[in-house]
Structure formats: structure tokens, C-alpha cells
Amino acid sequence: MTITAAADGSALGNPGPAGWAWYVDDNSWAAGGWPHATNNQGELKAVLELFRATADDPDDLLVLCDSQYVINSVTKWMPGWKKKGWRKSDGKPVLNVELLKELDQALTGRRYRFEWVKGHANHPLNEAADARARAVAEAFQRRAAIPAGPGWRSFDDHRRSAGASGQEEESPAIVVAPRTHPALFSFDDQHDGESVASGRHSVTLTLNDTEHARLLERARRRGVSVDELLRDLI
């Protein structure tokens, strides 16, 4: 599965009070910042903290980013900078080198890709990350409390918190719980009159507890119901 997250930075005045944020959903996001920094520093820090937060998660990471500077730094320029001792082609030191070095280390061993999204174009995840980064910058400007967010919540965290609160997980109609045979799903050859007439078929999916939890988490990340996700997969 793939974790899809947006990362963004904001600086009032650039440089000025600055914030960074990454966002998966309302239950899984984080933000921070500085009293004085640049927008590019916020953009880099957002991606860095996203990789750090998900470091122990085995899933791939898709980073939605509206900063060409960050994407090019990671995917194009960084190898050349490293070979030149973190200097550009003109021999001048690379800007934001400490953040870039930390990001380079955080990328090691990870499966990831970046996707550029246009900023301020009503992309839901990007807008959510931007709003949180800006809220931090404004909090520094007002010398107010920083809205830091809940941090990363994996599907294991989600299951544990649901169990502790006594709430049951969503029970999708298509899914039945314990695995009793190796088949992923089966189509029943015996249809009732209604299903034949409507052209619809019944699908039974058997999952163990871990697979069921991962399915719930995947649907949550996409913002769809489990039924919708399963129909897309099938």
C-alpha cells in the first residue's frame, strides 16, 4: 500500500515567521516552524518531518508537493551536490544545506515518489497542509501557541485507539472476517432470481485480522468507503 501525504511550507514576508506541515488526514498530520525562516526552509522541513514520522512504516510514500525546488532538490540536484561536497556547479555552497543533508539521510532505504501539485488550486490535501503551515506562521507572528497536530497514526495506532475506546471498526458489507480457506474471493454459481435479473453478483472476501485492518486504513487514506475501495480493486 502507499501512504499519500501532502507537505507544504509557509513564510510570512519570506523570510519571516514560518511554518511547515504534512497532512494525510484529520487524524494524521503534524506542523511546526520558526520565528524567522524562508518558505523554502518550510517546504524542506515539511518533507523531512513526513519521512521521519513514517520511518517505521513499511508502506511506500507518495509525497504531494507544490514546490518544484524541493522536488528537483531531491530527485535531480542532490546527487550532484553531494559529489561536489554540497556545492553548486558554480562552486557556491548549496543553500539550506543542513536541512538537505538531514533529508538525504531520511530518504535512505525508503520507497517513495514525489508528485507536483499546483498550489492554491483547491487540491484537498495540499490545501490542508498549506492551511496548517500558515497557521503555525501566524501563531509565531502573534506569539501564540503552535498547532502541532496529532502526528503520524498508522493503522495499528488506529486499531489500538478504537479498541481502547470500545468502538468497533467499520464492518464493510462485502468483507467477512476470519480466513478459513485460501480463496481471496469467490463467485457463487447459484444466483437467486433477483441477482440474475439485475445482473449483479455476490462476492465473498475472506481476510485475516491484519489484512482487514490494512484494508480499513487504505480506504481511510483515500477518503472512500471500504465498499467503494473493494469495488475499484475487483
Q: How far apart are the first and last CA of the chain?
A: 16
Q: How far is CA 108 from CA 4, 43, 157, in A?
A: 19, 19, 25
For 102-141, the pLDDT digits (tens) are 999 999 999 999 999 999 999 999 999 999 999 999 999 9
Which domains, and CATH codes, for the chain?
A: 2-153 (3.30.420.10), 158-233 (no CATH)
pLDDT for residue 51 is more than 80: yes
**Residue 182 to residue 165: CA distance in whole angstroms:** 33
pLDDT for residue 18 is more than 70: yes
* pLDDT value at residue 198: 43
What mean pLDDT is reported for the chain?
80
Task: Please write down the long-range contacts of 144-150, taking CB distance under 8 Å and 24 or more positions apart.
Answer: 146/31, 146/32, 146/33, 147/31, 148/30, 148/31, 148/32, 149/21, 149/29, 149/30, 149/31, 150/27, 150/28, 150/29, 150/30
With 0-12 / 13-18 / 19 or more C-beta atoms within 10 angstroms meaning exposed / middle / buried, residue 41 is buried
* Residue 1 pLDDT level (bands cut at 50, 70, 90): confident
Percent of the chain with pLDDT over 90: 64
For 139-151, the pLDDT digits (tens) are 999 999 999 999 9
Q: Mean pLDDT throughout 36-44?
A: 98
Q: Where are the alpha helices (DSSP H) in 108-154?
A: 124-142
* pLDDT value at residue 200: 47
* pLDDT value at residue 124: 97
| CA-closest candidate to residue 170, choices 155, 184, 183, 185 | 155
* pLDDT value at residue 173: 32
| CA-closest candidate to residue 24, choices 41, 48, 2, 44 | 2
For 181-208, the pLDDT digits (tens) are 333 333 334 444 444 344 444 455 555 4
pLDDT for residue 209 is more than 80: no
**Residue 148 to residue 196: CA distance in whole angstroms:** 54
Report residue 63: phi and psi, to 5°: -105, 115
Q: Which residues are catalytic?
A: 8-9, 43, 66, 120, 130
Higher pLDDT, 55 or 182: 55
Percent of the chain with pLDDT over 70: 66
